[in-house]
Amino acid sequence: MASFYDEIQSNQRRTYFLFASFLLLLFLIAYAFGFVLGLGNFGFVFAVVIAVILTLVMYHQSDKIVLSVTKARPVTKEEFPYLYHSIEALSLGAGIPQPRLYVMDEDAMNAFATGRDPQHAIVVVTTGLLKRMNRLELEGVLSHELSHIRNYDIKVMMLATVFAGSIIILSDILLRSTIWGGGNRREGRGSVYVVILGIALAILAPIFAQLIKMAVSRKREFMADASAAQLTRYPAGLAGALEKIEKDSVQMKNASNATSHLFISNPLKRDNISKWFSTHPPIQERIQRLKAM
Protein backbone atom coordinates (compact mmCIF):
# COMPACT_ATOMS: atom_id res chain seq x y z
CA MET A 1 0.00 0.00 0.00
CA ALA A 2 1.49 3.33 -1.10
CA SER A 3 1.63 6.09 1.52
CA PHE A 4 1.03 9.73 0.71
CA TYR A 5 4.77 10.32 1.19
CA ASP A 6 5.54 7.78 -1.57
CA GLU A 7 3.00 9.41 -3.90
CA ILE A 8 4.42 12.89 -3.30
CA GLN A 9 8.04 11.86 -3.90
CA SER A 10 7.17 9.83 -7.01
CA ASN A 11 5.25 12.68 -8.62
CA GLN A 12 7.95 15.22 -7.74
CA ARG A 13 10.55 13.14 -9.62
CA ARG A 14 8.30 12.77 -12.66
CA THR A 15 7.54 16.50 -12.73
CA TYR A 16 11.26 17.34 -12.72
CA PHE A 17 11.74 15.03 -15.70
CA LEU A 18 8.84 16.61 -17.59
CA PHE A 19 10.17 20.13 -16.98
CA ALA A 20 13.60 19.07 -18.21
CA SER A 21 11.85 17.91 -21.41
CA PHE A 22 10.10 21.27 -21.62
CA LEU A 23 13.37 23.19 -21.37
CA LEU A 24 15.06 20.93 -23.92
CA LEU A 25 12.22 21.49 -26.39
CA LEU A 26 12.29 25.25 -25.81
CA PHE A 27 16.05 25.45 -26.44
CA LEU A 28 15.75 23.26 -29.55
CA ILE A 29 13.08 25.51 -31.06
CA ALA A 30 15.12 28.59 -30.10
CA TYR A 31 18.19 27.14 -31.85
CA ALA A 32 16.13 26.25 -34.93
CA PHE A 33 14.65 29.76 -34.87
CA GLY A 34 18.13 31.26 -35.13
CA PHE A 35 19.55 28.83 -37.67
CA VAL A 36 16.65 28.40 -40.09
CA LEU A 37 15.98 32.14 -40.28
CA GLY A 38 19.68 32.86 -40.78
CA LEU A 39 19.92 34.92 -37.59
CA GLY A 40 22.52 32.77 -35.85
CA ASN A 41 23.12 33.42 -32.17
CA PHE A 42 21.04 36.60 -32.34
CA GLY A 43 18.00 34.54 -33.32
CA PHE A 44 18.60 32.12 -30.47
CA VAL A 45 18.90 34.96 -27.95
CA PHE A 46 15.85 36.72 -29.44
CA ALA A 47 13.75 33.58 -29.07
CA VAL A 48 14.85 33.09 -25.45
CA VAL A 49 14.11 36.77 -24.67
CA ILE A 50 10.54 36.33 -26.01
CA ALA A 51 10.05 33.37 -23.67
CA VAL A 52 11.45 35.33 -20.71
CA ILE A 53 9.21 38.36 -21.39
CA LEU A 54 6.12 36.16 -21.65
CA THR A 55 7.07 34.45 -18.39
CA LEU A 56 7.50 37.75 -16.53
CA VAL A 57 4.20 39.16 -17.82
CA MET A 58 2.26 36.02 -16.95
CA TYR A 59 4.01 35.75 -13.59
CA HIS A 60 2.51 39.02 -12.44
CA GLN A 61 -0.81 38.98 -14.34
CA SER A 62 -1.93 35.34 -14.48
CA ASP A 63 -4.24 35.49 -11.45
CA LYS A 64 -6.02 38.62 -12.71
CA ILE A 65 -6.49 37.05 -16.15
CA VAL A 66 -7.87 33.80 -14.70
CA LEU A 67 -10.29 35.56 -12.35
CA SER A 68 -11.57 37.69 -15.22
CA VAL A 69 -12.04 34.72 -17.56
CA THR A 70 -13.82 32.58 -14.96
CA LYS A 71 -15.93 35.51 -13.65
CA ALA A 72 -14.97 34.68 -10.07
CA ARG A 73 -15.88 37.23 -7.39
CA PRO A 74 -14.44 37.85 -3.91
CA VAL A 75 -16.45 36.72 -0.91
CA THR A 76 -16.66 37.88 2.68
CA LYS A 77 -16.65 35.92 5.92
CA GLU A 78 -20.23 36.99 6.51
CA GLU A 79 -21.41 35.45 3.22
CA PHE A 80 -19.75 32.04 3.63
CA PRO A 81 -18.58 31.77 7.27
CA TYR A 82 -17.89 28.02 7.22
CA LEU A 83 -15.77 28.34 4.09
CA TYR A 84 -13.68 31.01 5.80
CA HIS A 85 -13.29 29.08 9.04
CA SER A 86 -12.26 25.94 7.13
CA ILE A 87 -9.67 27.71 5.01
CA GLU A 88 -8.25 29.45 8.09
CA ALA A 89 -7.76 26.17 9.97
CA LEU A 90 -6.42 24.24 6.98
CA SER A 91 -4.01 27.04 5.99
CA LEU A 92 -2.64 27.02 9.52
CA GLY A 93 -2.19 23.26 9.34
CA ALA A 94 -0.48 23.53 5.95
CA GLY A 95 1.86 26.23 7.23
CA ILE A 96 1.01 28.75 4.51
CA PRO A 97 -0.60 32.22 4.54
CA GLN A 98 -4.37 32.18 4.22
CA PRO A 99 -5.22 32.65 0.51
CA ARG A 100 -7.85 35.08 -0.69
CA LEU A 101 -11.22 33.45 -1.31
CA TYR A 102 -13.37 33.80 -4.42
CA VAL A 103 -16.48 32.03 -5.66
CA MET A 104 -17.90 31.30 -9.08
CA ASP A 105 -21.68 31.49 -9.31
CA GLU A 106 -21.93 28.07 -10.96
CA ASP A 107 -24.21 25.11 -10.17
CA ALA A 108 -21.46 22.67 -11.19
CA MET A 109 -19.14 21.40 -8.42
CA ASN A 110 -15.53 22.45 -8.91
CA ALA A 111 -12.65 24.46 -7.45
CA PHE A 112 -9.19 25.74 -8.34
CA ALA A 113 -6.21 27.66 -6.97
CA THR A 114 -4.21 30.33 -8.74
CA GLY A 115 -1.56 32.97 -8.06
CA ARG A 116 2.20 33.19 -8.35
CA ASP A 117 3.22 31.98 -4.86
CA PRO A 118 1.74 31.23 -1.42
CA GLN A 119 1.87 34.93 -0.49
CA HIS A 120 -0.30 35.89 -3.49
CA ALA A 121 -2.53 32.82 -3.74
CA ILE A 122 -6.25 32.61 -4.41
CA VAL A 123 -8.67 29.72 -3.91
CA VAL A 124 -11.86 29.68 -5.95
CA VAL A 125 -14.82 27.37 -5.38
CA THR A 126 -18.18 27.16 -7.11
CA THR A 127 -21.40 27.85 -5.25
CA GLY A 128 -22.62 24.44 -6.40
CA LEU A 129 -19.75 22.77 -4.55
CA LEU A 130 -20.52 24.73 -1.36
CA LYS A 131 -24.16 23.67 -1.50
CA ARG A 132 -23.66 19.94 -2.10
CA MET A 133 -20.48 18.93 -0.27
CA ASN A 134 -20.57 17.85 3.35
CA ARG A 135 -17.98 19.15 5.84
CA LEU A 136 -15.37 16.40 5.31
CA GLU A 137 -15.72 16.50 1.52
CA LEU A 138 -15.37 20.29 1.43
CA GLU A 139 -12.28 20.10 3.63
CA GLY A 140 -10.85 17.48 1.26
CA VAL A 141 -11.35 19.79 -1.74
CA LEU A 142 -9.93 22.81 0.09
CA SER A 143 -6.92 20.75 1.24
CA HIS A 144 -6.32 19.70 -2.37
CA GLU A 145 -6.27 23.35 -3.47
CA LEU A 146 -4.11 24.43 -0.53
CA SER A 147 -1.72 21.60 -1.45
CA HIS A 148 -1.41 23.09 -4.93
CA ILE A 149 -0.35 26.32 -3.22
CA ARG A 150 2.00 24.72 -0.68
CA ASN A 151 3.63 22.55 -3.37
CA TYR A 152 4.03 25.58 -5.66
CA ASP A 153 1.88 23.87 -8.28
CA ILE A 154 0.31 27.24 -9.09
CA LYS A 155 3.73 28.49 -10.17
CA VAL A 156 4.67 25.21 -11.87
CA MET A 157 1.51 25.18 -14.00
CA MET A 158 1.86 28.87 -14.80
CA LEU A 159 5.40 28.19 -16.07
CA ALA A 160 4.25 25.11 -17.98
CA THR A 161 1.53 27.16 -19.67
CA VAL A 162 3.98 29.96 -20.53
CA PHE A 163 6.60 27.52 -21.85
CA ALA A 164 4.01 25.83 -24.03
CA GLY A 165 2.73 29.21 -25.26
CA SER A 166 6.26 30.41 -26.01
CA ILE A 167 7.04 27.26 -28.00
CA ILE A 168 3.80 27.62 -29.97
CA ILE A 169 4.47 31.30 -30.76
CA LEU A 170 8.10 30.68 -31.78
CA SER A 171 7.10 27.67 -33.89
CA ASP A 172 4.43 29.70 -35.66
CA ILE A 173 6.87 32.55 -36.44
CA LEU A 174 9.49 30.07 -37.63
CA LEU A 175 7.06 28.21 -39.89
CA ARG A 176 5.55 31.34 -41.42
CA SER A 177 8.95 32.95 -41.96
CA THR A 178 10.29 29.82 -43.63
CA ILE A 179 7.27 29.46 -45.94
CA TRP A 180 7.11 33.12 -46.97
CA GLY A 181 10.76 34.12 -46.64
CA GLY A 182 12.59 30.97 -47.68
CA GLY A 183 14.43 30.45 -44.39
CA ASN A 184 18.21 30.24 -44.18
CA ARG A 185 19.80 30.96 -47.57
CA ARG A 186 23.16 29.36 -46.81
CA GLU A 187 24.17 26.73 -49.32
CA GLY A 188 25.18 23.17 -48.63
CA ARG A 189 23.40 19.88 -48.18
CA GLY A 190 23.97 19.95 -44.42
CA SER A 191 22.29 23.33 -44.11
CA VAL A 192 19.31 22.12 -46.15
CA TYR A 193 18.90 19.11 -43.90
CA VAL A 194 19.03 21.30 -40.79
CA VAL A 195 16.41 23.64 -42.28
CA ILE A 196 14.14 20.67 -43.02
CA LEU A 197 14.61 19.41 -39.47
CA GLY A 198 13.88 22.93 -38.19
CA ILE A 199 10.60 23.05 -40.13
CA ALA A 200 9.63 19.60 -38.87
CA LEU A 201 10.43 20.74 -35.32
CA ALA A 202 8.27 23.85 -35.81
CA ILE A 203 5.35 21.62 -36.79
CA LEU A 204 5.80 18.99 -34.07
CA ALA A 205 7.03 21.15 -31.16
CA PRO A 206 3.61 22.70 -30.34
CA ILE A 207 2.08 19.21 -30.16
CA PHE A 208 4.85 17.95 -27.87
CA ALA A 209 4.61 21.13 -25.77
CA GLN A 210 0.90 20.62 -25.18
CA LEU A 211 1.42 16.94 -24.34
CA ILE A 212 4.14 17.84 -21.80
CA LYS A 213 1.94 20.55 -20.25
CA MET A 214 -0.91 18.08 -19.85
CA ALA A 215 1.43 15.49 -18.37
CA VAL A 216 2.74 18.03 -15.85
CA SER A 217 -0.86 18.91 -14.93
CA ARG A 218 -1.77 15.24 -14.38
CA LYS A 219 1.24 14.61 -12.15
CA ARG A 220 0.52 17.70 -10.04
CA GLU A 221 -3.07 16.54 -9.55
CA PHE A 222 -1.88 13.21 -8.18
CA MET A 223 0.60 15.03 -5.95
CA ALA A 224 -2.06 17.44 -4.63
CA ASP A 225 -4.35 14.50 -3.85
CA ALA A 226 -1.60 12.83 -1.83
CA SER A 227 -0.70 16.09 -0.07
CA ALA A 228 -4.37 16.70 0.78
CA ALA A 229 -4.54 13.25 2.37
CA GLN A 230 -1.41 14.11 4.35
CA LEU A 231 -2.93 17.42 5.50
CA THR A 232 -6.34 16.11 6.60
CA ARG A 233 -5.22 12.58 7.56
CA TYR A 234 -8.54 11.53 6.02
CA PRO A 235 -8.21 10.50 2.34
CA ALA A 236 -11.86 9.38 2.28
CA GLY A 237 -13.03 12.99 2.45
CA LEU A 238 -11.40 13.96 -0.85
CA ALA A 239 -12.30 10.58 -2.37
CA GLY A 240 -15.96 11.20 -1.54
CA ALA A 241 -15.80 14.69 -3.01
CA LEU A 242 -14.31 13.35 -6.25
CA GLU A 243 -17.04 10.70 -6.46
CA LYS A 244 -19.69 13.42 -6.22
CA ILE A 245 -17.92 15.56 -8.81
CA GLU A 246 -17.63 12.60 -11.20
CA LYS A 247 -21.36 11.96 -11.00
CA ASP A 248 -22.25 15.64 -11.41
CA SER A 249 -23.87 16.20 -14.83
CA VAL A 250 -24.02 20.02 -14.61
CA GLN A 251 -21.82 21.77 -17.18
CA MET A 252 -19.81 24.83 -16.18
CA LYS A 253 -20.66 28.05 -17.99
CA ASN A 254 -17.35 29.86 -17.49
CA ALA A 255 -14.80 27.19 -18.37
CA SER A 256 -12.44 27.02 -21.34
CA ASN A 257 -9.43 25.14 -22.67
CA ALA A 258 -7.19 27.93 -21.33
CA THR A 259 -8.28 27.40 -17.71
CA SER A 260 -9.43 23.76 -17.58
CA HIS A 261 -6.09 22.51 -16.22
CA LEU A 262 -6.52 24.64 -13.07
CA PHE A 263 -9.64 22.93 -11.74
CA ILE A 264 -9.75 19.94 -9.40
CA SER A 265 -11.67 18.10 -12.15
CA ASN A 266 -11.78 18.86 -15.87
CA PRO A 267 -14.78 21.22 -16.18
CA LEU A 268 -15.20 20.38 -19.87
CA LYS A 269 -16.23 16.79 -19.03
CA ARG A 270 -14.13 15.18 -21.78
CA ASP A 271 -14.10 11.66 -20.41
CA ASN A 272 -13.92 10.06 -23.85
CA ILE A 273 -10.54 11.48 -24.88
CA SER A 274 -7.22 9.71 -24.50
CA LYS A 275 -5.49 10.33 -21.19
CA TRP A 276 -2.46 11.58 -23.15
CA PHE A 277 -4.54 14.58 -24.23
CA SER A 278 -6.21 15.13 -20.86
CA THR A 279 -5.24 17.74 -18.28
CA HIS A 280 -6.43 15.48 -15.44
CA PRO A 281 -5.93 11.83 -14.53
CA PRO A 282 -9.06 9.64 -14.60
CA ILE A 283 -11.10 10.41 -11.48
CA GLN A 284 -11.58 6.71 -10.72
CA GLU A 285 -7.80 6.22 -10.65
CA ARG A 286 -7.45 9.16 -8.25
CA ILE A 287 -10.17 7.75 -6.01
CA GLN A 288 -8.55 4.30 -5.98
CA ARG A 289 -5.18 5.80 -5.00
CA LEU A 290 -6.78 7.78 -2.17
CA LYS A 291 -8.62 4.74 -0.85
CA ALA A 292 -5.39 2.75 -0.93
CA MET A 293 -3.57 5.24 1.33
**pLDDT tens by residue, 234-281:** 999 999 999 999 998 888 888 887 788 889 998 886 555 556 678 888
For 169, counting Cβ atoms within 10 Å of its Cβ (0-12 exposed, 13-18 middle, 19+ buried), the class is middle
Lowest mean pLDDT among 32-46, 102-116, 211-225: 32-46
pLDDT surpasses 80 at 222: yes
Question: pTM of the full predicted structure?
Answer: 0.79
pLDDT averaged over every residue in the chain:
82
Q: Which pLDDT score is estimated for 125? A: 97
- Residue 109 gets the label, from left (phi > 0), alpha (psi -120 to 50) or beta, of beta
Catalytic pick among 7, 139, 145, 221: 145
pLDDT surpasses 60 at 184: no
Measuring CA to CA, which residue among 7, 10, 99, 201 is closest to residue 18? 10
Q: Is 7 a catalytic residue?
A: no
Spatial distance between the Cα atoms of 125 and 63, rounded to a whole number of angstroms: 15
Phi, psi for 114 (deg, rounded to 5): -150, 175
> Coil, helix or strand for 28?
helix
pLDDT surpasses 70 at 38: no
